[in-house]
Amino acid sequence: MPAIVLVAEAHAETLLDEFGRYARDYELHAVHSCAEALEVTETIRAGGGTVALFVSDSVLPDAPILAAFAKWREVVPTARRVVAAPYARFLEDAPGLRGAMAAGKFDAYLLMPRGQRDEEFHHAITDLLSDWGSTVPDPEVVAVKIVGSPTAALTLAIRDFLDRMGMPSRVYAPDSEVAGLVREQHPDVVGPTQILALHRPPVVVSSVKEVATLLFGAPTGIDVDGVVDVAVVGGGPAGLATAVYAASEGLSTVVLEAEAIGGQAGTSSMIRNYLGFPRGISGMRLAQRARNQALRFGTRFLTGHEVQSLQAGADGEPHVVRADGGEVLARSVVIASGVTYRKLRVEPIEELVGLGVYYGAAMTAAREMEGQDVYVVGGGNSAGQAAVHLAKFARSVTIVVRRSDLGETMSAYLVGEIVNNSRISVRTWTAVVDGGGDGHLEWLTLQDVRSGEQVRVPAYGLFLLLGAEPHCEWLPACVARDERGFVLTGRDVPQDQWADGVPPPSLATTTPGVFAVGDIRSGSMKRVAAASGEGASVVPLVHAWLAPQPE
């Protein structure tokens, strides 16, 4: 059972009483000093347990609070950390602590409850515990059991997909007792690949796509009646926002997503600058909440099926969106297919993708990095978020960038978190030029881009977040794109393609009834909030397109 450690010289018993509601699911330990907290934490770890949350008064008798958090993080880097200040000191201590919170030294600054049923306080606590529970331990309640090698590329890919879909899973080795029981109860289930048990007869799968089909059905297996008002291609923030606003305004809406809902943003371990979430929110949680919101309004999701082509409708005919195995007819189409991470194009490293090398944050793989040396390539916010998350598990995390510093491309709050994390270092003016290992990544060669000097370093994990390449090769030629392949909209469309000398509406493409939002759109900001805003903004344009034309 995970533990919550409550630390306060004068208020420990008060906190213990307040946290009594968690006693069924967590061990509660109330102590009076930093040293006592360290002692009880070591005892918990020696017994095979772990600490999920430290809650501390803002002043301790034997250490400054920030120094205490640093010591506790060295022992349990995955634990969430909260300051619960008494009312008498809450405002007084705030100026000195809020900056440290912004730098990632702790997770929340709360007013200690002054009475019963302080649900605002406990909402913050349960959010943090939920975030801890979804990223650190094996889940208590399992939706999917996977029998396969825990380090196999396919196992990690399947588990990553399930994590991003909000479906807790657990992996059992082929020689485990659970695997033997599955085979004993179902002798007809055999295969060298993965076996999935979903509280039904288990099945053998050999790809993530098969898992998606098993869970959500193929397009041909989902009844999409007639012609829908809006087909949204892509389930990232832009596509999800489009779905929420379109469906809430009465438009029949279908979302087609090739991978897991959330897109690249869905792999972010913690987005701290998204409006309305002061303690941050993981990309997966943000995506799943948006998906559930869209479902409540009637949106239909076709997940795990890549769109292969778009046939633009002419003379009032509907557009045809073709996926592998099915098609959707739509009066309007919103392209929100996003971008993919640019390839490193170092052949020995490409051969190890899924075997220690990952494109994207790969939150599931982070758990496999415990005690290892890990490298992150990229200087954007996604790379910074990945590094901070990996530092909760890995022995060391090194960010590799070709530039002189991170501040040119990364938000200041993330730079601050990185600077204040002793497990993270940054190598500027550096590129990864080689790597290898026997069935798994073991080493990398780093090169100074100015001098050409190379050095070989041990590495167990390499996470590549190299910037954006458009994902729109499936679009017809009538949808204009810029020289990099991003979709042109509004006034960015060349004048020779304007209709009657008038540019298309701001988010409309060169094909009537086809719109583009989010990262796929030329000139977009490549930020979650901006993508969500475009998803909402496109719906009035869709309404205008669908409205009957005056005679």
**Average pLDDT value for residue range 117-121:** 89
**What local confidence, expressed as pLDDT, does residue 310 receive?**
96
Residue 197: is its pLDDT beyond 70? no
**Average pLDDT value for residue range 33-44:** 96
- pLDDT tier, 239 (very low <50, low <70, confident <90, very high otherwise): very high
Among 217-231, 295-309, 417-431, 532-546, the minimum mean pLDDT is found in 217-231
Handedness of CA 212, 214, 219, 223 (dihedral sign): negative
- pLDDT tier, 123 (very low <50, low <70, confident <90, very high otherwise): very high
The average confidence (pLDDT) of the chain is: 89
**Average pLDDT value for residue range 379-385:** 91
**What local confidence, expressed as pLDDT, does residue 551 receive?**
62
CB 440 within 8 A of CB 356: yes
- pLDDT tier, 438 (very low <50, low <70, confident <90, very high otherwise): very high
Which domains occur in the chain, in start order?
3-135 (3.40.50.2300), 144-216 (3.40.30.10), 219-340+469-546 (3.50.50.60), 347-466 (3.50.50.60)
Residue 223: is its pLDDT beyond 60? no
Question: Model confidence over 104-115: pLDDT tens digits?
Answer: 889 999 999 887
Question: Model confidence over 486-536: pLDDT tens digits?
Answer: 999 999 999 999 988 899 999 999 999 999 999 999 999 888 999 999 999
The CA distance from 322 to 324, in Å, is 7
Closest to 258 in 3D by CA, of 273, 236, 237, 278: 236
The CA distance from 19 to 5, in Å, is 10
- pLDDT tier, 188 (very low <50, low <70, confident <90, very high otherwise): confident
Name which residue leads in pLDDT, 334 or 152: 334
The CA distance from 171 to 4, in Å, is 27
- pLDDT tier, 291 (very low <50, low <70, confident <90, very high otherwise): very high
The CA distance from 550 to 395, in Å, is 67
Residue 331: is its pLDDT beyond 80? yes
**What local confidence, expressed as pLDDT, does residue 17 receive?**
92
Among 18-22, 264-268, 298-302, 391-395, the minimum mean pLDDT is found in 264-268
Please give the full DSSP string across 127-146, using - where no structure is assigned.
HHHHHHHHHSSPPSS-SEEE
**What local confidence, expressed as pLDDT, does residue 137 receive?**
64
**Average pLDDT value for residue range 218-240:** 81
- pLDDT tier, 213 (very low <50, low <70, confident <90, very high otherwise): confident
**What local confidence, expressed as pLDDT, does residue 325 receive?**
67
The CA distance from 367 to 412, in Å, is 27
Tokens encoding 123: 């909402």
Closest to 334 in 3D by CA, of 522, 548, 539: 539
Closest to 512 in 3D by CA, of 337, 329, 331: 331
Residue whose tokens read 């020995």: 348
- pLDDT tier, 387 (very low <50, low <70, confident <90, very high otherwise): very high
Tokens encoding 301: 């999701």
Residue 222: is its pLDDT beyond 60? no
Residue 221: is its pLDDT beyond 60? no
**Average pLDDT value for residue range 176-202:** 71
**Average pLDDT value for residue range 244-271:** 90
Tokens encoding 25: 């699911």
**What local confidence, expressed as pLDDT, does residue 445 receive?**
97
